[in-house]
Chain A
């Protein structure tokens, strides 16, 4: 670990803390339909969309209407994306003449992108035409991100409103977020990436002759525009197979920093939106702080594990001073690779600038744990907030009784219906992660996947389903995922991880919205102080830890202690 490494990590954290409030304020105004500095330009466009679609933006939808609108919208998104992949051979913008994507892979990819997961069982430059990349994948990158934010805002409205039947308007939320938040920021970011050297063209791949006289094909394409939303929307689906480790997708240290910042910025700002909605920004900061502590601990462990190098390699004479550099880019080094890995898995982004498979056992365990905890450490845009708020509901319910009142959170009583729906949402993740991992570790089709033996092979399988269920999309690497078995099981995992959680979450929002707001007094469970932050962290860790401890023990923990003992598999 170096001072330079720590300084870079601190700079990153400081910028995120500084950005959370101003951007949260802007998003809050946008989501309430208030005027912003972009309204003169975008207002007519926004109204034009409503007019075209016949949407009344002021209509306050029930949770059921909000949810069904969202589901139907995604069904269409799936059909569109699936169709584009299957038909890409007949469609334009295909200079490399890519053929139709196989049915199971196309379905897996379509679900992957509508769920904001961006799990990629394909290599971008060798599978997808420019049309699919632009009109298919990038479009879903925008809409899935906007949906996540919309859902989180719907939940905050549930907390904020009193005796209301509705939780907002899905179509208006979707339109406003895309138009006022995602598009403007992405335009700026795209230009920035182009400046940093990221290609933005529709040219055919370039063939180059290397110094040794070998032939090399260099892929091209509209990379910068997709890169911008891939990060900002915590999608993570790389244009190229190697994602943000590719020099065209992440050329410089500066582009690396901006990519990490754009992964976190909207998720962090959402906590502030929550605080503003419930009328007490401290509530938002408390959620932010709980996320922050979990994040920093993760960074410290991962950086420590990666900077230390592999003792087994050190023993045979490898210089450990640069840390464990297997699978890492020299231009990023151990510190920025470790930070990137924690950021991308904490935030359900899934873009990578190093191969997590090559991390040290504990360094690789942190990304895994980040996802297992339910992507609540900043999390996917919006998804992180609503995930964390569900944990807040659980925390308040478990410990809130200890102040001698029936549990309440930001003025809303937490009762049977909220607990039931929250438990349903919390249950779906372990069901698919543990269920499919258990299946894959005994079936021959599953056992064919991992490249490594022993606990590391187990981790590869476990990581794949975790990444899918948490809608992260990062790959541990090593696992051969493009098979009928993994394509279909991971597709189901992603869909359950997204929608089986969203529906009960919206039911909670609807139920909360209808409740009367209780007054706050000194007898009320205080949810903005250090005690609550500590409790929330404790509940997240204990629930996650208790659920996955056996699996973690058989994966990274067994591997770590085996490594210390000098055992290899």
Chain B
């Protein structure tokens, strides 16, 4: 995985400088209006500035306090912009790297006859054009290989330096514009128009140019705008109340109170959290076509996982030699080893390895044996060797028995051979019979090896309330055995694309959100139906179009991490919202007594923090309000710590940290700032 090479430190100096410039550029009201809380802040900051200028022009005394408030109002706004700019900057750095790879390519467009081609500029290619790409050429656009096979360097997209094989037909026919063919030649039919290719989309995505607010973000913005209006009522009514009580309160102080009350903290960090969430996915080499799907990932209830490659290692391995009665295990192991020496399949190699590990059998390579190797064929369903007159075969149980009967002169088929084979099948394994000169020696147990640690992962998922369903083409008996070993909650055996689609619909009808990954064209309907469909980058163009995420590493296990990233994004948003609102309690206790002390001295009791002067109290509250944004930027970008556990446990923990913490922290923070402010004589 290449995520390390792409990771940038949180506050890379190279990112900070442009971010600071960007913070000022973002003061443009046309940018701010997208965020109601910050737009409100900008308006009141402007009003406060005008009042300050009027006071200065009028030669008012004691203007220092007003000037400081105004400075901190603008600082709050700049800090918010800075948070967003840093988050965007990290994406931009990646986008620039991608853009450098998108050099002007010249395509070889094939004419209707033979291998004749004309040279055209890549952007001029039309959908449906067929181009020839030879070793050393850059593929001019996204498309499907219609002829040939080639090794392709896709490091520009995936960051993975090892070349991959792409070939016509099957599930590995898609190629991406901007990648380079290393060997051979292929013909590619262009499937996307220039400007909307995968690379273009990826650049736009990481850059945040096409970033739209996600549904949850929109809802949260409405809540924050609503709270802002409530606080507007609360603050705007104060002058009349104060007037009734025979006092007076300055507009700048009211503005300070208003700004500290409105949820500036979460308002400032909201878009940074969203950008950082997408960014985490990109760093993880997963591209989401929309933020919506990242949110949906957090909500997933059911994960459909392919057995092969996700739950089990890709290949079966020999785990035991089970001789029939009258044969020793060593005899069986020796015969099985000989039959497999020339067998290059992973299964064959695993038999050799097992014989060596269990019985110390080694030496004697094929060359020294002067043996004749009989390769596997679909017809015979066996492979083996003819060696010094001995005929050794291994293969499917029925095939080997048939072979033994055809050879066996009066030799009995051992009755326990079939029993052993059935036992193995029941345990989810594949039995492989071995015979020598028509004599059945025993059965080799080939087993699907469940990946290490996967059982624990599934247990974690269960704790999070996520159900896992294993999808496999195996029969039900085998599937059940593997499912039990891997600890999945359910399985779908002999799965066809239709069966997958039906399963997804059934789960959704029960009110569940389903995530799955797939690569083949026949996965496309299910990918489209699933709430989160992760297409493998190696998959077909159809699959990539149907899914709402693409995994550049083509690693189906990542589905689990994608869910975690989605959850982390939502949790970060919730935690900072809670924190922001809880903060208001302390701010009231700082400002209310300061505001009313002049005419109701008894309200000094509410000054529980013992802030030194009314002016210092108000100033400290507004400084805290600004600084907390900067303090929380790393948390917004990194996301809150996420441990898989039940919702009740997560809620308890987060409410304690961000709810209760959100009430307590500002009391301490404001007091500390007050000590500093009065010590250096700011107020």
Contact = CB atoms under 8 A, between A and B. Distances in A.
Interface stretch (B203-211, B551-559, B640-648): B640-648
B601 to A, nearest CB: 8
A404 B654 CA distance: 11
B570 A405 contact: yes
B465 A430 contact: no
A550 B577 CA distance: 23
B659 interface: yes
Nearest to A430: B233
A531 B652 CA distance: 7
A546 B231 CA distance: 8
A196 interface: no
A558 B603 contact: yes
A303 interface: no
Interface centre among B243, B244, B582 (most CB of A within 10 A): B244
Nearest to B221: A416
B571 A401 contact: yes
B575 A411 contact: no
Contacts of A557: 603, 606
B230 interface: yes
B573 interface: yes
Nearest to B510: A519
Q: Is the interface of A mostly helix, strand, loop or mixed?
A: helix
A416 B215 contact: yes
A327 interface: no
Interface centre among B218, B230, B231 (most CB of A within 10 A): B230
Interface in A542-564: 542-543, 545-551, 553-554, 557-558, 561-562, 564
Contact of B241 (A430, A454, A458): A458
A423 B226 contact: yes
Contact of B237 (A400, A438, A521, A562): A438
A538 B600 CA distance: 29
B578 A402 contact: yes
Nearest to B646: A522
B234 A548 contact: yes
Interface residues of A, number: 70
B596 interface: yes
B465 A549 contact: no
Contacts of B464: 404, 522-523
A424 B229 CA distance: 10
A431 B236 CA distance: 11
A403 B647 CA distance: 5
A524 B295 CA distance: 15
Contacts of A538: 659
Interface string A382-425: 00000000000010011111111111000100111011100110
A520 to B, nearest CB: 9
Interface centre among A399, A424, A542 (most CB of B within 10 A): A399
A484 interface: no
Contact of A419 (B223, B237, B606): B223
A29 B581 CA distance: 41
B465 A437 contact: no
Contacts of B658: 402
A63 B120 CA distance: 60
Given A423-B226, A542-B585, A546-B588, A415 B298 contact: no
Contacts of B236: 434, 438
Nearest to A524: B647
Contacts of A41: none
Interface string B563-582: 00011101101110110011
Contact of B222 (A416, A524, A546, A553): A416
B222 A423 contact: yes
Contacts of A553: 592, 596, 603, 606
A92 interface: no
A547 B465 contact: no
Contacts of A218: none
B605 interface: yes
A522 B650 CA distance: 11
Contacts of B512: 518-519
6 contacts: A394-B223, A442-B243, A458-B241, A522-B648, A553-B603, A564-B602
Given A403-B574, A437-B237, A546-B261, 6 more contacts: A402-B571, A404-B571, A435-B237, A518-B513, A523-B464, A551-B241
Interface of A: 162, 394, 397-407, 411, 414-416, 418-420, 423-424, 426-427, 430-431, 434-435, 437-439, 441-442, 447, 454-455, 457-458, 516-519, 521-526, 529, 531, 535, 538, 542-543, 545-551, 553-554, 557-558, 561-562, 564-565, 567
4 A-B pairs closest in CB distance = A523-B465, A401-B574, A404-B567, A423-B226
